[in-house]
């Protein structure tokens, strides 16, 4: 069986057992089995359902990590929820596991290789769960990969640097005061407060030279009597910026508006951060190796230096929480349509081999790069 056939065989197996965040039990067992058979020392149930494989040359050198996400997305079909690998994490696993086999087969002469099969990327919690176990602590450089939708990279093209956006979700609970509908002056109408907050949020501005967006994504209020003043509203907001520093500023402004608008009406506002995901931080040193590895595989015409996307990726937590870690993230063009998170998402499987070759070369060149050892 050649490499392309092997990738597809692994992909087919994983594609048939899609499992959502922190439920990747069969997926994890399958990955652990492949790694063990290839000669890796395997840890299971890392940070929940994560799997980590270690290959040690027993010689000095850097620890190079390859990370794949594992979870699928859930879709509603009638009254059932079904899992579908609509974000391509099955393809990422197939690539990383094939690279792992190739590395073990050809052997390494220095350092260590760690294969990180990370759960729960889609809910933004998997990377943090793995970081908390300390399993990332000895890694010097870590690489990730994602299939790119067609508008970012086509078949035969590979992106050297994917800039994932910083994303934050906020929830605000507004408490007013109820009163009889005939006596609105005795109440504080939470719907009025909420509307005012939405309008003020829409009038907020950030530096137009930076990428940012801010949307109200939820507005729920009490469903009380039609002749009573409503005392409760819940609002949700989705904040995105291309730079992490801009996110801090945007968050501050949004919270300021919510609190002060509520106060203006005499209402109370509680704001809670429901989730966040940092944006990408670049490592110029790794970028040179990545560019070389991509050019070797698809030539200079296939190399795309960078792409910015408004999507978040929890891989960025590794860098945010371990700033000394060197990270690189590659985008693989594969004629992917209609788009990620679309249940009909499909791509050109013949392009997956490019992902394998680029990551394999990157691991070898990083192992031999003495600068990467702490
Ligand atoms: Zn996704
Ligand atoms: Zn994804």
Please tell me the predicted confidence (pLDDT) of residue 291. Answer: 97
- The rounded Å distance from CA 55 to ligand 2 centre is 26
C-alpha 214 to ligand 2 mean position (Å) = 22
User: Which ligand number lies closest to the CA of residue 73?
Assistant: 1
> How many Å apart are CA 347 and CA 309, to the nearest integer?
19
Backbone angles phi, psi at 132, to 5 degrees: -65, -25
Closest ligand to C-alpha of residue 123 is 1
- 137 CA → ligand 1 middle, Å: 26
Angle at CA of residue 317, ends 306 and 7, nearest 5° = 65
Q: 61 CA to middle of ligand 2, Å?
A: 31
pLDDT at position 374 is: 53
Ligand 1 midpoint to CA 15 (Å): 15
Nearest-10 Cα torsion for 141, 147, 151, 155: 100
- What integer pLDDT is reported at residue 253 of this predicted model? 98
- Residue 341 CA to ligand 1 center (angstroms) comes to 6
Cα(356) to centroid of ligand 1, in Å? 20
Sign of the dihedral defined by the CA atoms of residues 142, 8, 302, 155, in that order: negative
Please report the beta strands in the chain, taking only residues with DSSP state E, as ranges in sequence order: 41-46, 50-56, 63-69, 73-77, 80-84, 112-118, 141-149, 158-163, 166-175, 212-221, 232-241, 268-277, 303-308, 326-336
Q: Concatenate the DSSP letters of all residues of 122-154 into one string.
A: TTT-HHHHHHHHTTTTT-SEEEEEEEEETTT--
For residue 192, the model assigns a pLDDT of 97
Task: Quote the ligand 2 centre to 87 CA distance (angstroms).
Answer: 5
The pTM assigned to this predicted structure is 0.92
Q: Helix or strand or coil: residue 235?
A: strand
Beta strands at 80-84 and 73-77: parallel, antiparallel or unpaired: antiparallel
Domain with CATH 3.30.70.360 in the chain: 166-277
Residues of the chain with CATH 3.40.630.10: 3-164+280-372
Distance of CA 370 to the CA centre of its chain: 29
**3-state secondary structure at position 257:** helix
Concatenating the DSSP letter of every residue in 161-204 gives EEEPPEEEEEEEEEE-B--BTT-GGGSB-HHHHHHHHHHHHHT-
Query: What's the CA-to-centroid distance between 92 and ligand 2, angstroms?
Result: 9
CA 203 to centroid of ligand 2, rounded, Å: 32
166-277 to CATH, choices 3.30.70.360, 3.10.180.10, 3.40.50.720, 3.30.1490.20: 3.30.70.360
Ligand number, closest to the Cα atom of 70: 2
> Ligand 1 mean position to 310 CA, how many Å?
12
**Whole-number pLDDT of residue 282:** 81
Tell me the CA–centroid distance for residue 146 and ligand 2, in Å.
7
301 contacts: CB under 8 Å, gap ≥ 6: none
- Looking at residue 373, its pLDDT comes to 60
How far away, in angstroms, is 179 Cα from ligand 2 center?
48
Any bridge partners for residue 240, and if so which? 167, 213
* Pick from 118, 116, 115, 97: nearest CA to 49: 118
Please give the chain's pLDDT, 374 residues, in tens: 899 999 999 999 999 999 999 999 999 999 999 999 999 999 999 999 999 999 999 999 999 999 999 999 999 999 999 999 999 999 999 999 999 999 999 999 999 999 999 999 999 999 999 999 999 999 999 999 999 999 999 999 999 999 999 999 999 999 999 999 999 999 999 999 999 999 999 999 999 999 999 999 999 998 889 999 999 999 999 999 999 999 999 999 999 999 999 999 999 999 999 989 999 988 888 999 999 999 999 999 999 999 999 999 999 999 999 999 999 999 999 999 999 999 999 999 999 999 999 999 999 999 988 666 65
What is the distance in A from the centroid of ligand 1 to the CA of 122?
A: 5
Please tell me the distance between residue 87's alpha carbon and the centre of ligand 1 in angstroms. 5
**Nearest bound ligand to CA 90?**
2
Best CA proximity match to 24, nearest among 95, 101, 85, 86 = 85
Secondary structure class of 51 (helix, strand, coil): strand
For residues 26 and 124, the answer to whether their CB atoms sit within 8 Å is: no
CATH superfamily for 3-164+280-372 is Zn peptidases (3.40.630.10)
Ligand 1 centroid to 221 CA: how many Å? 30
- Rg, Å, the chain Cα set: 24
| DSSP 8-state assignment for residue 205 | -
Determine the distance separating the centroid of ligand 1 and the alpha carbon of 340, expressed in angstroms. Answer: 7
2 CA to centre of own chain: 31
Write down the pLDDT at residue 285.
Answer: 86
Dist. CA 313 → ligand 2 center (Å): 7
Distance from the alpha carbon of residue 88 to the mean position of ligand 1, in angstroms: 8
Write down the pLDDT at residue 307.
97
Report how far ligand 1's centroid is from the alpha carbon of 287 (Å): 24
């Amino acid at each position: 069986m050649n490499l392309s056939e092997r990738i597809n065989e692994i992909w087919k197996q994983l594609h048939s057992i899609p499992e959502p965040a922190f439920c990747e039990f069969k997926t994890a067992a399958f990955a652990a089995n492949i790694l063990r058979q290839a000669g890796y020392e395997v840890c299971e149930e890392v940070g929940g359902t994560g799997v980590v494989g270690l290959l040690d040359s027993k010689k000095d050198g850097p620890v190079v990590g390859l990370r794949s996400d594992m979870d699928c997305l859930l879709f509603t079909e009638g009254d059932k929820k079904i899992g579908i690998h609509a974000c391509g994490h099955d393809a990422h696993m197939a690539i990383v596991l094939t690279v792992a086999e190739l590395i073990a087969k050809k052997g390494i002469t220095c350092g260590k290789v760690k294969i990180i099969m990370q759960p729960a990327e889609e809910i933004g919690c998997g990377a943090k769960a793995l970081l908390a176990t300390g399993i990332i602590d000895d890694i010097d450089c870590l690489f990730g990969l994602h299939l790119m939708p067609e508008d970012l990279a086509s078949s035969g093209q590979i992106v050297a640097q994917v800039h994932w956006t910083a994303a934050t979700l906020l929830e605000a609970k507004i408490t007013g005061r109820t009163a009889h509908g005939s006596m609105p002056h005795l109440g504080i109408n939470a719907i009025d407060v909420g509307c005012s907050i939405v309008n003020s949020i829409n009038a907020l501005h950030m530096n137009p030279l930076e990428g940012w967006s801010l949307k109200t994504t939820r507005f729920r209020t009490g469903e009380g009597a039609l002749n009573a003043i409503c005392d409760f509203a819940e609002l949700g907001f989705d904040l995105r910026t291309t730079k992490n520093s801009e996110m801090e500023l945007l968050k501050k402004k949004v919270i300021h508006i919510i609190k002060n608008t509520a106060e203006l009406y005499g209402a109370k506002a509680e704001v809670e951060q429901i989730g966040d995901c940092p944006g990408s931080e670049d490592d110029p040193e790794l970028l040179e190796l990545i560019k070389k590895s991509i050019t070797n595989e698809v030539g200079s015409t296939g190399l795309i230096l960078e792409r910015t996307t408004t999507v978040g990726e929890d891989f960025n937590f590794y860098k945010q929480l371990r700033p000394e870690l060197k990270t690189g993230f590659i985008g693989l063009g594969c004629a992917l349509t209609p788009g990620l998170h679309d249940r009909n998402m499909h791509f050109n499987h013949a392009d997956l081999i490019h992902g394998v070759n680029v990551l394999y070369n990157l691991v070898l060149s990083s192992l031999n790069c003495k600068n990467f050892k702490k």
